[in-house]
Amino acid sequence: MATDVKPTRKNLMAIEDRIDLSERGHDTLEKKRDGLIMEFMDILDQAQDVRSGLSEDYEDAQEAIDIARAMDGDLEVRGAAAALETHPEITLQSHNIMGVVVPQIESSKVKKDLGERGYGVMGTSARIDEAADAYEELIESIILAAEVETAMKKMLHEIETTKRRVNALEFKLLPELKENQEYIEQKLEEQEREEIFRMKKIKNKKEEEESEARKETAAEPEEQPEGEVAVTSD
């Protein structure tokens, strides 16, 4: 409340400084919010492409494994999968987008040559090889999707946080500060008018006293000099 603020020039200067700082902070946050939204839209477009590619890769992998199971048998497919000796490796790093730390996932040993899959090349069919290729593609799509989706969620959270801070400054803090500023300015003007009125009264009273003093001085009889005798006629 404005009435809770003591109307002094020191408080007025402090409030003016806070208003200036808050307005500059508001402008900075608005620019950050707009920049984050632009970055988010780019990531959103990328996420839509990744989701579409992930869905396609999943369907391709599912179709390939179904064909391999149907033609070579489930036991043969499981045996080929169990022969895998080297597993994918994930390295998690991060990078900064306008102050938001988002993950950067690097993968290795996902796609393998035929000789690196562990099963005998002569003992399996091309259908199992195709299923393995399809699932390696799917794993890479999953890793990319995880990176993009996580970045998108972090960006969205930061946008919402920044928007709340912008709104708090614009609709709460700044109006309250300006209300306090206006209240103090009005009170100081009232005090100044009262002081001017009081000084005028003091001045008028002093002038009246001086005027009365002059009148009293003018009304007093003149004293005759010593040794002089008043002459009267009969």
**14-45 pLDDT tens trace:** 999 999 999 999 999 999 999 999 999 999 99
Taking each helix axis from N to C end, the angle separating 74-82 and 126-168, rounded to the nearest 10 degrees, works out to 70
Tell me the C-alpha to C-alpha distance, in Å, between residue 42 and each of 33, 38, 140, 180: 14, 7, 21, 43
Q: What is the spatial distance between Cα 103 and Cα 94, in angstroms, rounded to a whole number?
A: 4
pLDDT band at 81 (very low <50, low <70, confident <90, very high): confident
CATH code matching the domain that covers 24-157, chosen among 1.20.1250.20, 3.40.50.300, 3.40.980.10, 1.10.287.3240? 1.10.287.3240
The predicted-structure confidence for 56-80, as pLDDT tens digits, reads as follows: 999 999 999 999 999 989 888 888 8
Domain positions in the chain are 24-157
Q: Is 39 left (phi over 0), alpha (psi -120 to 50) or beta?
A: alpha
